[in-house]
A and B are shown apart, each in its own frame.
Chain A
Amino acid sequence: MTEADLSRLADLAVVVGANVQPGQIVGVTAELGHEDIVRAVAASAYSHGAKFVDVWYIDPLVKRARIEFAPDDSLEFVPSWYGHRILTLGEERGANILIRGLTVPNALEGLDPQRAGRDQLPRVKETNVIVNERTVNWTIVAYPTAAWARLVFPELDDDAALERLWEEVRHVSRLDEPDPLEAWEQRIDQLERAAEALNDADLDAVHFEGEGTDLTIGLLPSSIWKMARWATVANVRHLPNVPTEEVFTSPDPERVEGRVRSTKPLVLSDGTLVTGLEVRFEGGRAVEITADEGGEVLRGRTQIDDGAARLGEIALVDRESRIGQLGTVFYETLLDENAASHIALGSGFSFAVETDEDRARVNQSAVHIDFMIGANEVNVTGLSRDGERVPLLRDGVWQISAVPAA
């Protein structure tokens, strides 16, 4: 990793991802251990005219101390100013940049998962408000850290692991292209066409079939497929995830039936690793959640509110994804969810439906937990309103028209 890597990644976050505008306040959320990229992001944002860069450093070991020692009846508490900061950033039409990249492995190891599940920080529920109101142009980018590199490449020594992770993050973030901005424009065009074709198919439900998976997810009458370039109410275009490889929508939280087996490990926002996840849905609700590891913490999360056990997102990813192609398991949702099709428990996207009636039906929750259910071996089939079965993905390749080969 060189200074140039840092400043290119920072520019990717500021220019390609959040698309920071002159005069904006820019929130940055990062962990201790991300200082180098945070400072580079601050320099880039200010150089692009930001009015103020407000860094929120999260310390995973401060959270550990809370789970370990705080009074039992205090664990759900979040001070009012956490939400106030986010909502005000929205009112001010600010930008927001989140840095991802594991800093402390197993920060909550050995603690009572029941207690850990009750503290939702660093997630702040008001974030859902600014996302849905589209008042903030925001992005999430991946920053390679030593701890993360060790987790992904345990067979390599520390330096080699970090260099390899940088190499892969450069590749999947398209920083190895001469003009990353242009490379992203091209990939976004492909995803845009996939979303159009899905919307033309006018689907009522999507069926996933594979080993351990037989799941049907109903859509809302006006669910529309989106790809990952958004625009704020002020018409600032941004990429919420860099990298992004998905098209997604908000499903009907009442119509999910069957079983699904996760195809990749997932890492919760507090660092808890969940492997071998299996979920059974009935009437839209996750009624059975089992896992080889981390099941208890995840179950704790799904009990936070009524919507936490229902789906808020369904996303399809084809095999052209650079992340899927690498085959690396990153233990990081930002990357892994863009490797394969996925669904999310918890809050949905009210902008992914078109009618007010459906907006009221989109799932609501304080949590949003993505997990990967797609693979080349998992067939994805659309069910049209007249009962016709429309192949969507076979062997990871789009089957619907209007999507030219990449």
Chain B
Amino acid sequence: MSAAPLAERLADLAVGLGANVQPGQIVAVSADIGLEEVVREVVAAAYQRGAKFVDVSYYDPHVKRARIQHAAYDTLDFVPRWYGDRAFALGESHAARVVIAGPSHPHALDGLDPDRLGRDPLPAVAEWMDVLADRTVNWTIVPYPTLAWAKQVHPELDDEAAFDTLCREIVHVCRLDEPDPDAAWRERVDELTDVGHRLDALALDALHYEGPGTDLTVGLLPSSSWIGAVSWTVDGLEHLPNVPTEEVFTTPDPARAEGRVRSTKPLVLVDGSIVRGLEVRFESGRAVEIDAEEGAELIRKRVARDVGASRLGEVALVDRESRIGQLGTVFYTTLLDENATSHVAFGSAYEEAVSEEDVSRANKSAIHIDFMVGGDDVEVTGITRDGKRIPVLRGGAWQI
């Protein structure tokens, strides 16, 4: 089963609208093993745009499995220093980066000891957080369907139907079913930018989330501004970090989060392990209680990694116009699921969402873990500096 023509179209989207690869750039490509088809198209497309070198890094979750099973416990958090050095060198060379999302071996880590699994941060490389914060790299993440992923998302269907359905869904949410996908994205990006401006105009001090199992207030920084979809590098290169993207987001005050929140979708960690039914209680910005139906220990381990890991680095709002949200599919892939509904993230913040005087207050961490907290039955209300409550999302629709 192949999605070959789709590979070419997604590759064009990734190196064009997504990462906006420039002539002479080095392009780092990351993908799970099993995604070769689209990786090779990305490589070809990048070189055709004049890339100087495309450096492909394939991640094999079964090699990680071998590590978790057989390596000595005290070595499990070790990462060779050239992993970070590579990220820094890519930053210094003002490279581009394309990440392909889509698990090709979704069950590779099933049944492993969560305590051991939680110690190994790979394939996440902490230094990438610094490089992204420096905004030296124009980057994007795009999805690519695999049969194994399709079976995970649509277990009720037979193989062929599951794969066809996932392909169709990806085509739809990536707006590849539009006559001119680039133009369709420009339009959606403009809408999100406009929402960001309207949120900025409210000058909110905090957001209040209310829904089943959720009563959470997240404080914002004085200069927190809302960003929609588009990012710019220090060189002024425009890029879409996520394709698809449906969110507006900002950097919260890591010292001000209070209350409880219940995750509205399963979340998938970067190594492919799954956390379901996550519930978190925050006190003065810190996650002080973490429970889950499945995978709680994995989150607890990651959140214990550094001082910033248990605090929030992102709040993002997604309305019900999101094509992903409308599908109602749980994709078990953060790229898609986080663009289905409003979410917050543990760990590192995007410094570009605050002005210089607040940069030192933005949360710092080696991790960044998004989890979904929005839904049609979750009300989001803004609180202004003088205590006024302004409805932001009701029934998933913008109120501003």
Contact surface of A with B, Cβ cutoff 8 Å: 25, 32, 35, 38-39, 42-43, 46-47, 49-55, 57, 59, 61-62, 65-66, 68-71, 74, 77-81, 84-85, 88, 92
Residue numbers in A under 8 Å from B85 (CB-CB) = 81, 84, 88
**A residues within 8 A CB of B36?**
32, 59, 61
Sample (13) of A-B pairs whose CB atoms are under 8 Å apart: A42-B66, A43-B70, A46-B69, A50-B71, A62-B43, A65-B47, A66-B43, A68-B47, A70-B47, A79-B89, A84-B82, A85-B82, A88-B80
Q: A65 — which chain B residues lie within 8 A by C-beta?
A: 40, 43-44, 47, 54
A52 touches B78 (CB 8 A): yes
* Contact stretch, chosen from B55-63, B232-240, B269-277, B353-361: B55-63
The residue in chain A whose Cβ has the minimal distance to the Cβ of B108 is: A39
Q: Is the CB of B39 within 8 A of A59?
A: yes
Complex alpha-carbon distance, A65 and B53, angstroms = 11
B267 cross-chain contacts in A, Cβ below 8 A? none
Q: Are A42 and B55 in contact (CB under 8 A)?
A: no
- Given A35-B33, A61-B40, A62-B39, check contact A77 B53 (CB 8 Å): yes
Given contacts A43-B69, A66-B53, A77-B53, 17 further A-B contacts (CB under 8 A): A35-B62, A38-B63, A39-B66, A42-B63, A46-B69, A51-B75, A53-B67, A54-B80, A55-B60, A57-B33, A62-B54, A65-B43, A69-B48, A79-B53, A81-B85, A88-B80, A88-B81
Q: Quick one: which of A53, A70, A81 contacts B63, CB cutoff 8 A?
A: A53
CB distance from A163 to the nearest CB of B (A): 24
Is B44 a contact of A68 with CB atoms below 8 Å? yes
Residue of A nearest to B55 (CB): A79
Contacts of A50 in B (CB 8 A): 71
Q: Are the C-beta atoms of A81 and B82 separated by less than 8 Å?
A: yes
Interface residues of B in 62-98 (CB under 8 A from A): 62-63, 65-67, 69-72, 75, 78-82, 85-86, 89-90, 93
A92 to B82, CA, bound (A): 11
A95 CB to closest chain B CB (Å) equals 13
Alpha-carbon distance A80/B172, docked complex (angstroms): 40
Question: B58 touching A43 by the CB < 8 A rule?
Answer: no
Partner of A39, one of B54, B62, B79, B82: B62
Q: How far is the CB of A122 from chain B (nearest CB, A)?
A: 11
A-B pairs with the 4 shortest C-beta distances?
A46-B70, A69-B47, A42-B66, A43-B66
Nearest residue in B to A119 (C-beta to C-beta)? B53
Complex: A242 Cα to B208 Cα, angstroms: 65
In whole angstroms, how far apart are the Cα atoms of A116 and B82 in the complex? 28
| Separation of A62 and B66 alpha carbons in the complex (Å) | 26
| A66 to B52 Cα, complex, angstroms | 9
* Contact status A71-B26, CB under 8 Å: no
Residues of A within 8 A of B89 (CB): 79-81, 84
With a cutoff of 8 Å between Cβ atoms, the chain A residues found around residue B80 in the complex are: 25, 52, 54, 85, 88, 92
Q: B47, B48, B78: which has the most chain A beta carbons within 10 Å?
A: B47
Hey, which chain A residues are within 8 Å of B78, CB to CB?
A: 51-52
- Interface contact A57-B58, CB-CB below 8 Å: yes
Bound CA–CA A183/B337 (angstroms): 56
Whether A59 contacts B72 in the complex (CB less than 8 A), given A39-B63, A42-B63, A71-B52, comes out as: no
Contacts of A38 in B (CB 8 A): 60, 63
Given A35-B60, A79-B89; A69-B82 close (CB under 8 Å): no
- Kindly list chain A residues whose C-beta atoms are within 8 Å of the C-beta of B391: none
For residue B51, CB closer than 8 A to chain A, the reply is yes
Contact A81/B86 with A35-B60, A39-B60, A57-B60 known, Cβ cut-off 8 Å: yes
The closest CB in chain A to the CB of B70 belongs to A46
| Interface hub of A77, A78, A81, A84 (most chain B Cβ within 10 A) | A81
CA of A50 to CA of B70, assembled, Å:
9
B395 at the interface (CB under 8 A from A): no
For residue B50, CB closer than 8 A to chain A, the reply is yes
CB distance from A1 to the nearest CB of B (A): 17
B56 near A66 (CB under 8 angstroms)? no
Contact B66–A70 (Cβ < 8 Å): no
Query: CA–CA, A69 to B44, complex, Å?
Result: 6
**Is the pair B75, A66 in contact by a Cβ cutoff of 8 Å?**
no
Question: Chain A nearest CB: distance from B58 CB in Å?
Answer: 4
Residues of chain A within 8 A of B47, CB atoms compared? 65-66, 68-71
Question: Whole-angstrom distance from the CB of B10 to the nearest CB of chain A?
Answer: 15
Contacts of B26 in A (CB 8 A): 79
Please name all residues of chain A whose beta carbon is closer than 8 Å to the beta carbon of B90 when the two chains form the complex.
81
Interface centre among B51, B70, B89 (most CB of A within 10 A): B70
A78 CA to B55 CA in the complex, in Å? Answer: 9
With both beta carbons as reference points, the residue of chain A lying nearest to B26 in the complex is identified as A79
Q: How far is the CA of A65 from the CA of B48 in the complex (A)?
A: 9
Cβ of B82 to closest chain A Cβ, rounded Å: 4
What does the 1/0 interface line of B214-226 toward A look like (CB < 8 Å)?
A: 0000000000000
Residues of chain A contacted by B75 (CB below 8 angstroms): 51-52
Report B-chain residues with C-beta under 8 Å of the C-beta of A71.
23, 47, 50, 52
* Interchain CA distance A80-B93 in the complex, whole Å: 10
Q: Nearest Cβ distance between residue B394 and chain A, in whole angstroms?
A: 49
Of A51, A54, A70, which is in contact with the most chain B CB atoms at under 10 Å from its CB? A70
Tell me, in angstroms, the Cα distance from A112 to B232 when the chains sit together: 38
A84 to B63, CA, bound (A): 23
Closest to B40 in A: A61
How close is B266's CB to chain A, nearest CB, in angstroms? 27
Residues of B within 8 A of A78 (CB): 53
Minimal beta-carbon separation of A86 from chain B (angstroms):
9
Q: Return the contact of A66 from the options B23, B54, B58, B71 (Cβ within 8 A).
A: B54
CA distance A54 to B57 in the complex (A): 11
Give the shortest distance, in Å, between A297 (CB) and chain B (any CB). 20
Nearest A-chain residue to B65, judged by Cβ = A39
Closest CB of chain B to A136's CB: distance in Å? 13
Whole-angstrom distance between the alpha carbons of A68 and B54 in the complex?
Answer: 13
Find chain B residues with CB under 8 A from A70 CB. Answer: 47, 51-53
A69–B47 Cα gap in the complex (Å)?
Answer: 5
> Which residues from chain B contact A51 at a C-beta distance below 8 Å?
71-72, 75, 78
User: B40 and A59: CB pair below 8 A?
Assistant: yes
A38-B63 Cα distance, complex, nearest whole Å: 8
What is the CB-to-nearest-CB distance from B24 to chain A, in angstroms, rounded to a whole number?
Answer: 8
B308, chain A: closest CB distance, angstroms: 25
Min CB gap B2→A, angstroms: 14
- Bound Cα distance A43, B65 (Å): 9
Q: Contacts of A79 on B, CB cut-off 8 Å?
A: 26, 53, 55, 89, 93
User: Across the interface, do B56 and A62 meet the contact criterion of CB distance under 8 Å?
Assistant: yes
Within 8 A of A (CB), among B313-330: none
Beta-carbon nearest neighbor of A55 in chain B:
B63
Q: How far is the CB of B84 from chain A (nearest CB, A)?
A: 10
Q: B26, B52, B63: which has the most chain A beta carbons within 10 Å?
A: B63
